[in-house]
Amino acid sequence: MPAKKRSRALGAGLDELIPKKISSEKKENISFEKGTEIIVPLSKVEPDRKQPRKNFSEDSLQELADSIKQYGIFQPLLVQEKDDYFQIIAGERRWRAAKIAGLKEIPVIVRNLSSQEIAEVQLLENIQREDLNPIEVAEGYKELIDNYHMTQDELAERVSKSRTAITNSLRLLKLDERVRKMVVDEMITTGHARALLAITDPDKQYEFAQRVFDEKMSVREVEKAVKKLNQGKKKEREKVDSQLQALYDQIEENLKQITGTKVKIHAKDASKGKIEIEYYSKEDLDRIIGMIRK
């Protein structure tokens, strides 16, 4: 039952994105069946190298190939026409499984879509079929935002997700590359990954992620441990800041004795800042400038 529900949701989502215009141009050795579905040689169909999905489970493909051998392909692939072949818009997993099953021909539906519509269809299909890992989803979102100047609100509406879901997904791309790989390999969950974002040092983030995996820590345990780690760093910074402030106070007092007026040090950090010297008249200013020149 769950599979049927996903299929209906996918159909409804894709119908909204796919124009109704269908190419009627015939290719050599291609036989048309009823409606928009046609049968084409498998050798004339190629995947889209830009599609968001990059990882395919070999076991899952073999299971699908076994099913295709017995029952055939239930849902035609969605393709667009190129000069001498058809490029897959949606259905690369079925195409791969068909090759494993030894099929010579496959059913396709031809559509003429813009590059943005293709990107949206590919991302939507994979998300609704739960075929993408969380990092691939985030990269797909980023591609639509960057390449087609979509806002997060517009993207959320197009893929039927909340704005919060889009934002949380995109945050995963801020992870260290090694930690992202751990998410892809299902060594840690997206919940673990979001908690690790609070560790800004890439190496420390990766080390902590390995600890999460080794110790089989829960998301809540990771959140507590990361919070404790950052609190320790904050206290260390405060300790250093207090030591520096004591030094600045002493320097201010020394400069006050030298200039005969109030002096204040404004520190931006441990190595940068500015010195403020007050004066109370033109004569006072001339006096202080004269001291500085000497």
Assess contact for 132 and 140: CB atoms under 8 A.
yes
Structure-token pair, residue 146: 């960057």
Could you say which of 28, 33, 92, 207 is catalytic?
92
68 phi and psi, to 5 degrees? Answer: -65, -40
Burial of 82 (0-12, 13-18, 19+ CB in 10 A): exposed
Strands 263-267 and 273-277: what pairing? antiparallel
In the numeric block, the tokens 């997700």 are attached to 161
In the numeric block, the tokens 């260390």 are attached to 236
215 is catalytic: no
Cα three-residue angle 201-202-207, rounded to 5 degrees: 100
User: Which residues are known catalytic residues?
Assistant: 92
